[in-house]
Amino acid sequence: MKRTAFFISDGTGITAETLGQSLLSQFENIQFSKLLRPYVDTVEKARDMVQQINAAAEADGQPPIIFETVVNRDIHQELTLSKGYIIDIFSTFLAPLEQELGAGSSYSVGKSHSIQHNGNYQDRIDAVHFAMDNDDGARTHHYKEADIILVGVSRCGKTPSCLYMALQYGIRAANYPLTDDDMERLQLPAALKPYKQKLFGLTIDADRLASIRNERRPNSRYASFAQCEFEIREVENLFRRENIPHINSTHFSVEEISAKILVHMGIERRLK
């Protein structure tokens, strides 16, 4: 079965898309064509959206699913004229929250993602810069400022996990790749020893690692299954010997990896 899903907002659309994606993921037997439509902030744009929704309804033979976070009631009313099935996220949650709090919502556009109303914005940017500056063991003299340092073999998911934690949570995350030299000595690199309490290990299945590395360096020793298997075995031995907490990243998304790391390490997000 195929359905079209629109994420519509008079702001960035991040809230509508995030919640909508989470809900749609529960329907594994339905193939969704997902369309993000941010900044639908005039009635004229809403009328254009109605045409797009109706065209999708005609093509699919079924109403598109509409996740919307539209504050302006005139724009919302225009969207209700479409042939889509509308889930008004703000109305669904704000009305009962207003009742519980005994206060009315300001119904302002884009408050959760604006610079002016988000005192954590600079923290987010600083964390991203920190992750980029301390990527792949390029620099180690800022590790004292790190909240966490990810370690593992090359291409096991350290960099995307660091960047996600920085962008989503404001976490200052560095990462350090364990190389052949480290494995031959079978000991923790000197640069990491003072920060052992900040270390968290990532490992991965050898066949998955070989596949990833083959995309980068096809038919190389670096990408061979034997080399990948050797590196992973030695690194996992190192993790166990040094009591470094670790997880296998093979079957987890970056979001899942990051959440598991923060829970295990007891690190609170900086962005509230």
3-class SS at 221? coil
Whether 84 has a binding-site annotation, put simply, is no
The answer to whether the beta carbons of residues 203 and 249 sit under 8 Å apart is yes
Token pair 């690199």 in the structure block, residue = 189
Inter-residue long-range contacts of 211-219, CB under 8 Å, 24+ positions, other chains counted: 212/155, 213/154, 213/155, 216/155
Whether 155 has a binding-site annotation, put simply, is yes
Q: How far apart are CA 157 and CA 150, in angstroms?
A: 9
Whether 250 has a binding-site annotation, put simply, is no
Q: Containing H/E element for 2?
A: strand 2-9
One-letter-per-residue 3-state SS of 177-215: ECCHHHHHHCCCCCCCHHHHHHEEEEECCHHHHHHHHHH
Whether 235 has a binding-site annotation, put simply, is no
Whether 152 has a binding-site annotation, put simply, is yes
Whether 153 has a binding-site annotation, put simply, is yes
Whether 201 has a binding-site annotation, put simply, is no
Whether 158 has a binding-site annotation, put simply, is yes
Residue ranges at the known binding site for ADP = 152-159
| Binding-site positions | 152-159
